[in-house]
Amino acid sequence: MSVLESTVSKLKSKQAVIGILGLGYVGLPLMLRYNAVGYKVIGFDVDADKLDKLNAGQSYIEHISSDSIATANQRGFESTGDFSRVGECDALVMCVPTPLNKYREPNISFVINTMDALKGYLRAGQVISLESTTYPGTTEEELLPRAEEGGLKVGEELFLVYSPEREDPGNPNFETRSIPKVVGGHTPACLQAGIALYEQAIDQVVPVSSTKTAEMTKLLENIHRAVNIGLVNEMKIVADRMGVDIFEVVDAAKTKPFGFTAYYPGPGLGGHCIPVDPFYLTWKAREYGLHTRFIELSGEVNRGMPEYVLGKLMDGLNNFGKALKNSRVLVLGIAYKKNVDDMRESPSVAIMEILRNKGVEVAYSDPHVPVFPKMRDHVFDLKSEPVSAENLATFDAVLIATDHDKFDYELIEQKAKLIVDTRGRFRKPFDRLIRA
């Protein structure tokens, strides 16, 4: 039996051990899925606090229950920071961050550092899959040479694939199992191993011809969203100047049963994908002498939305004879989207920083984020404020940045002195409402 045949057989019979590298919003749901269908799973992470919580049966992500972690532990899941255990795994799935640096260029240091940490423990028969979003060519240019440093040949003894994550935290309509999985292999044998890895846990596997194709697929998905959100954000500015409600326009347009997809405006882009991924392609395109003007223009529009919100807030305060400086503003919702605790790239935080820099006394309320978390680029020593009649009355303005369903909007409408609504939560106009 060849190395490939042995690997595929172990994966299909669920005798393989699955290693998940990076136990965050992508890695943790994937771990739970493999664990639930009968695989032995080992999770790797460098964050000691995460490992302590997981080993105690506790979740640190709101939409993942602690009961599910405890059940996984009972079924044999182990989490560790000891990368020497990589050799125990038949498949290694990398789910690590790929942010931008301060120059809005790709930072793939987490991918490279993870690969460097495991490469000394690789053995024949293993499948290595990268799920982190990155520029086309990363798997071939960065992972392939590192995988082969120890003398093992990719396509014969090791099997290298790229399979982009498609998690949507907090979306009740889709879960890891039901979201189709795109898989590209470095060689046909790699693709065969990758399909065997994922088809046991995912309902539909979508094979493509190469790792570069799979990498580009992920970027297209998110650039499509970024460009369309940029378009509707620009439309919002134009509609506002004309006295037209953009949310009413979108609701009417989406009744067309073909040729239109509804995207709604907001205070900017958030999450780990849409604000970041387009710039992975614009950066890589320069290597080929190309300038991705359309993508960069949408990024420019979306990045400008927090300043637009600031202007609308200033207009509202001026209407009540109040200056921006020394005003008290309560920001409602600091997660990047409604009904989750995910803070990554949240435009709410960008707005809070602008306000603080303008001399505003900023506070926030978010039922999903009780304490402002430690973030790489943002520091606020704040706790979530209660949304009570008494507390609302102490603020000069309430700014709806993320419209969580848990907020009492009737109370907010009754008690807030000024409401700046960036999400279209209030559809009927009233004197103290500013659409932003």
Question: Encoding tokens for residue 37?
Answer: 């269908």
Q: What is the C-alpha separation between 347 and 251, in angstroms, rounded? A: 24
188 Cβ neighbours under 8 A, 6+ residues apart: none
Q: What is the rounded distance in angstroms from the CA atom of residue 165 to the CA atom of residue 29?
A: 11
In the set 89, 95, 190, 273, the catalytic residue is 273
Are the C-beta atoms of residues 324 and 317 closer than 8 Å to each other?
yes
89 carries an active-site annotation:
no
Q: Do 271 and 336 form a contact (C-beta atoms < 8 A)? A: yes
Q: What is the DSSP string of 92-134?
A: EEE-----B-TTS-B--HHHHHHHHHHGGG--TT-EEEE-S--
**In this structure, are residues 300 and 278 in contact, taking their beta carbons and an 8 Å threshold?**
no
C-alpha distance across the termini of the chain, in Å: 64
Give the separation between CA 104 and CA 271, rounded to whole angstroms.
15
**Residue 212 to residue 142: CA distance in whole angstroms:** 12
Which sequence positions are flagged as catalytic? 273
